[in-house]
């Protein structure tokens, strides 16, 4: 009885990945990202690492660790973005996000009209999302404007110190390095933070699969603001729960041959399982689309009770 009560109060993970520490677990077998990129280090300095290097990002104003940064591919339309000058670019009729640091002003004219004032000296960042008409957009720069992005997308990503940044992809841990991983039962917990939520039809996901997608259990965020879970075979695709950008999302799935439970920020949904995956070969991180900071990933070799996963996702 005491053992059972202890598990309910404080379950011990069999795999515990903590990315707020700034250390990459040596079991991560690969990291793929092309192009140029950046992140803020623990001292508040803007760093520009090379390709295929993990980024442990920090909030530049507070220096609080944000976790391991995963981002989608983006292009930066601004030339010489470190200290940009007045320039014109070609745009289409879709959402764009302008971002920059400093106390200066960027005035938009041509296919969109706006005056975007900076919020203060570096590292204060100003972001502005707008939808121009197709054609030529002119950006008139005055005052101190540093580290500027103009990206196609409804939210800003990290500063891109060049023409483009590739997506962070291919980040996996082999199943053989994960103690107790089994298709018959287990629990996966994830804590992540999104700068913007993907639209309908697009998701970010973390979970276990066999390398083909035929056998999988995945936690997902996207679809215009929903955190859900999918499993196959069996065709499980949960209704999920609403989530918002800029807030920590704690999500867990617990499975066994007879049932599954899915919890998001203290909310719970459950059902029976008729068909279980046949095998897992890896834990996927940085999969799907979108951008996010990943702070925690935990795997438990047992199926934790629904009450436990509801509690562990409730802060």
Q: CATH number, domain at 191?
A: 2.60.120.200
| Chosen domain end from 107, 139, 165 | 165
- Cα–Cα distances in angstroms (integers) from residue 158 to residues 39, 69, 109, in the given order: 7, 9, 25
Q: Which helix (H) or strand (E) holds 173?
A: strand 171-174
What ranges in the chain are assigned the alpha helix state H?
A: 2-9, 306-312
Q: What is the pLDDT of residue 7?
A: 46
62 belongs to a structural domain: no
**Same domain for 117 and 14:** no
Structure tokens at 227: 């955190």
pLDDT of residue 5: 41
Are 179 and 295 members of one domain?
yes
Round to the nearest angstrom and report the end-to-end CA distance of the chain.
Answer: 26
Is there a contact between 313 and 265 (Cβ–Cβ < 8 Å)? Answer: yes
The residue from 117, 136, 165 where one domain ends is: 165
Domain of residue 296 covers: 2-31+168-312
Distance CA 94, CA 133 (A): 8
Please tell me the total count of domains within the chain. 2
The reply to whether 302 and 186 lie within a common domain is yes
> Which residues of the chain register pLDDT less than 70?
1-10
CA gyration radius, the chain: 21
| CB contact set of 254 (below 8 Å; sequence gap of 6+) | 186, 187, 260, 261, 300, 303, 304, 305, 306, 308, 309
Which of 106, 133, 165 is a domain's end point?
Answer: 165
Residue 7 three-state SS: helix
Q: What is the pLDDT of residue 3?
A: 37
232/298 same-domain check = yes
Query: Which two tokens mark 130?
Result: 């707008």
How many C-beta atoms lie closer than 10 Å to residue 229's C-beta? 26
pLDDT at site 31: 86
Report if pTM > 0.75.
yes
CATH number of the domain to which 131 belongs: 2.60.120
pLDDT, residue 288, reads 84
CB of 208 within 8 A of CB of 285? no
- Report pLDDT for 30: 76
Q: What is the pLDDT of residue 6?
A: 43
Q: Are 202 and 260 members of one domain?
A: yes
């Amino acid at each position: 009885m005491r053992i059972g009560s202890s598990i309910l109060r404080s379950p011990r993970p069999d795999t515990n990945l903590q990315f707020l520490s700034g250390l990459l677990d040596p079991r991560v077998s690969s990291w793929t990202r092309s192009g140029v990129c950046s992140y803020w280090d623990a001292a508040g300095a803007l760093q520009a690492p090379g390709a295929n290097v993990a980024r442990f990002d920090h909030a530049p104003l507070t220096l609080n660790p944000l976790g391991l940064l995963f981002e989608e591919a983006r292009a930066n339309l601004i030339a010489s973005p470190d200290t940009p000058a007045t320039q014109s670019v070609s745009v289409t009729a879709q959402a764009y996000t302008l971002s920059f640091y400093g106390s200066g002003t960027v005035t938009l004219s041509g296919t969109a009209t706006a005056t975007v004032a900076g919020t203060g000296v570096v590292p204060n960042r100003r972001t502005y999302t707008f939808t121009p008409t197709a054609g030529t957009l002119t950006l008139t720069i005055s005052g101190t404007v540093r580290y500027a992005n103009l990206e196609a997308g409804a939210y800003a990503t990290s500063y891109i110190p060049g023409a483009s940044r590739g997506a962070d992809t291919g980040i996996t841990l082999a199943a053989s390095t994960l103690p107790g991983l089994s298709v018959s039962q287990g629990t996966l917990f994830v804590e992540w933070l999104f700068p913007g939520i993907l639209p309908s039809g697009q998701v970010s996901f973390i979970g276990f699969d066999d390398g083909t997608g035929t056998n999988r259990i995945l936690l997902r965020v996207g679809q215009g603001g929903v955190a859900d879970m999918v499993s196959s075979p069996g065709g499980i695709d949960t209704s999920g729960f609403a989530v918002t950008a800029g807030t920590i999302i704690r999500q867990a799935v617990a499975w066994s041959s007879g049932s599954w439970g899915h919890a998001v920020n203290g909310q719970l949904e459950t059902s029976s399982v008729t068909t279980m995956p046949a095998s897992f070969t890896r834990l996927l991180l940085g999969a799907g689309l979108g951008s996010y900071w990943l702070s925690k990933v935990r795997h438990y070799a047992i199926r934790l009770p629904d009450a436990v996963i509801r509690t562990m996702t409730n802060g």
